[in-house]
Structure 1
Amino acid sequence: MTTALQSDLVTQLYRQHHGWLVGLLRRKLGNLDHADDLAQDTFARILTARDTPSLNEPRAYLTTVSSRLIAQYFRRLSLERSYLDALASMPEDSAPSPETRMLVLEALTAVSRVLDGLSPRVRDIFLLSQLDGLPYAEIAARHGMTVNAVQKSMIRAYQHCYAAVYAAP
């Protein structure tokens, strides 16, 4: 689809469904300002997408895109809260600068987004191995699977992470 055609499609989509989407998001979020922001982000995401599908059900498509953005929004809030809680327990003289805090939050959000691309089971196996340092045999026992299956899950996780970091956008 050409850029001009895609832009026209998004413009038409915006005119016909922006108000509806803001209302939907306001009901989900309970805040008009956040709903407006996420509606704008939804249309921006569609506009910058490599390929916009033909839309037989535009509201279903908008709901899907905006739901993903809502999940990212809440994930970021959760990460921020967790990080700020961890900072609060640190002595003030060793707390990072505001710039460092923002960089860490951005990195945590990026890592979270990559991990969300894994299936829940593979993600859990990966985190048990990488964060908790559990050996494959213990992970296998926890999940009721063989060590070989854990190894294959780890390979899938590593491949996914590699592709997310090094693949061209």
Structure 2
Amino acid sequence: MSDDGLIGLRRLFVDRYQDFKQRLARQLGSADVADEVMHDTWLRLAQAEQVGVVQNAEKYIFRTALNAATDRRQKEKRHQAALDITNFLELPDERPTPEQVAVARSEFEVFKRFLAGLSVRRRLIFLAARLHSVPYQEIANRMGVSRALVQKELVLAHRELTAIRKKIEDERMHQPLDNRLDQ
């Protein structure tokens, strides 16, 4: 198509702008997207240096608009994929720090010593109730003791554990700063 044909396409686009936009809005399901696509279509027509033989100018313009819509959709998908990747890469590392691992290991060692220091009956009651969530009455039935004794043993175990934790915290607070930083 000659320069006159290209000028004719541009003129038709301007003259029938609202018709094309309404058809696009119906086709794409959004007046806003149709408006953006119409702008993209105009840019394509304005930047074109030449076009081949055009049998139907309206169909040519509408096909150009649909191609612009497809390109826009693909570009948005690529952009969204890039954002998803960026968001994934920016996820915080939830692994514990070496310091947190050291503290956890230290606390676990204290807990193991605490358990080892309990009487056998108190240790069994404590583990059944706190680790395995066994109801007090069931623990009492299994061990052949009263429910009140199970509760008493748990209170005593908790007191011992609290005392041990307090002692450790007090020791940490009274250590020289240099030693606390090394732990």
**Which TM-score band (shorter chain)?**
0.3 to 0.5
Bigger radius of gyration among the two: 2
Tell me the TM-score normalised to structure 1 length.
0.46
Tell me the TM-score normalised to structure 2 length.
0.43
